Amino acid sequence: MDDPDSLLTLVLIAIIVLIVTRYDSRRANISSLEYKVYSCVNLERTRMGLSALELNDAMSDVARKHSRDMAHRSYFSHKNLTGESHSERLEGEDIHVEGVSAENIAKYSIVSSITQPDNIKSYRSLDELAKAVVSGWMHSTGHRKNIGNADFRNTGIGVSLGLDGETYYFTQVFTGG
C-alpha cells in the first residue's frame, strides 16, 4: 500500500461509508421517532375512550415534506411559504380530504441552549422527545382537540431534523373516515 493513490482511494471510500452509515442511522432514528409520536398520540386517544388512528403512509409523506420544508427554510407555521395549508398540501398529493382535517406542528431542540436555558430542554432519548411533543400538544387546546376528535380516523406523522442538527420539526395531519 505504498501507492499514494491507493491510500487516497481507501480513505475516500472510508469517508463515504461513514457518511452513508451516519445518514442511514439518522434516517432510521427519524422513522423511529415518527412511530413513537404516533404511539403516544394513540395512547392519549385510548385514554380519552377513542379508537386508535390508522397511520397512513401517503399522509406521512405529506407531513414529512412539510416538516422538512420548515426545517430547511427556517420557518414554523401551519402554512408553507407559498401559503398552502395542510389540506391543500394533502390535495396536492392526491389525498382527497372529505369532511374534517387538521394539523398539529411542533418544534423541539434536543440540546440545552446557553442563550435561552429556560426555553430549551435536553432530551436523553427519542422516547423522551416523543412524549414531550405529545405532552405539549395535549397542553394546547387546539392540538388536544385535534388528537381527541372522534371524527378523525387517519393520520400521517413526519419529522425532520433542522440544519443545525439539534432542532426537530414535527407535523401531524389528520383526516376523517
For 75-120, how does the pLDDT look when each residue is reduced to its tens digit (9 = 90+)?
A: 999 999 999 999 999 999 999 888 889 999 999 887 644 444 555 5
Looking at per-residue pLDDT, the higher value among 125 and 168 belongs to 168
Contact between residue 101 and residue 173 where contact means Cβ atoms under 8 Å apart: yes
- The mean pLDDT of 34-41, rounded to a whole number, is 97
Q: Whole-prediction pTM value?
A: 0.80
Q: Strand pairing partners for 152? A: 176
* CB contact at 8 A, 15 and 117: no
Which pLDDT score, from 0 to 100, does residue 114 have? 42
> CA–CA separation, 94 vs 108, rounded Å?
30
The pLDDT of residue 21 is above 50: no
Of the candidates 53, 46, 1, 26, the one whose C-alpha atom is nearest the C-alpha of residue 172 is: 53
Q: Looking at residues 34-46, what average pLDDT do you find?
A: 97
Q: What is the band of 4 on the pLDDT scale with cuts at 50, 70, 90?
A: low
Q: Bigger pLDDT: 6 or 95?
A: 95
